[in-house]
Amino acid sequence: MAPRTKVNRAVAARCILTTGLLAGVVGCAPRAELVLHQPFAATSQRELQLSSQCAFCDSEDSRRSCLLAFPLPGASDGPHDFLVYLDAPAAKGRIPIDATQPQSARGFLIQSVGRLAGKTVFSSGTIRCRKVWYAPRLYRFDLDVSCDDGSRITGTARVAPDEQPMRTFARTHAADIAALAPSSSQQTSPEPLTAPRSTDGQ
């Protein structure tokens, strides 16, 4: 797994800047609030409430990528130990999750601490994208996705366009992102893939 420090520092610095720039527009920074449902986990971890000020996106060609970076549940600040990455068509409306279809959405969750540390890929579900009417620069994403380890992610994020944290994440997780593409078997990357999460013995 790539060291989280570099990504955390870049994202944290960008969070501070974005908070200041957008405070006068929406009253607070773009915010993400998700619930991570884990039926296989210990009782105290079966439903984790994740909340963060760090929610960014970037568009290229006909697609939009998003990064949501969360501290531990209940924390208002600190290392971003849960990262949600989403790649979707740059369109509004309801978009299905389907790793085999080029025009569908796809993504993954990376957890960097604890017994469940590792990556799990979105396997099914939907996202819904729309503009935030009172802040046209922002996009709202509603997520209801299932992952290949049996977990489920639901919730909402308001994301702001910002190239810097997206490019930093794309460099440090190049192979994880490349593996999402339907033609991933044709692609190579010098970066190692993040190990999958293990649910054994939970």
Question: Measured between alpha carbons, how far is 140 from 32 in angstroms, rounded to an integer?
Answer: 9
According to DSSP, the β-strands at 152-161 and 54-60 are: parallel
Estimate the crossing angle of helix 4-26 against helix 163-172, to 10 degrees: 160
The residue count of the chain comes to 202
| Residue 200 CB neighbours (<10 A) | 6
Which one, of 94, 85, 77, 91, lies nearest residue 57 by Cα?
Answer: 85
pTM for the whole structure: 0.83
With H, G, I as helix, E, B as strand and everything else as coil, classify residue 194.
Answer: coil
Mind listing the pLDDT tens digit of every residue in the chain (202 residues)? 444 555 555 555 456 444 444 444 444 555 999 999 999 999 999 999 999 999 999 998 899 999 999 999 887 777 899 999 999 999 899 999 998 899 999 999 999 999 999 999 999 999 999 999 888 889 999 999 999 999 999 999 999 999 999 999 999 999 999 999 886 555 555 566 899 998 765 5
Q: How far is CA 179 from CA 96, 159, 173, in A?
A: 18, 24, 10
Instruction: Fill in the amino acid letter for 160.
Output: A
Question: Measured between alpha carbons, how far is 145 from 155 in angstroms, rounded to an integer?
Answer: 10
Any idea what the Cα angle at residue 10 is, between residues 166 and 18, rounded to 5°? Answer: 75
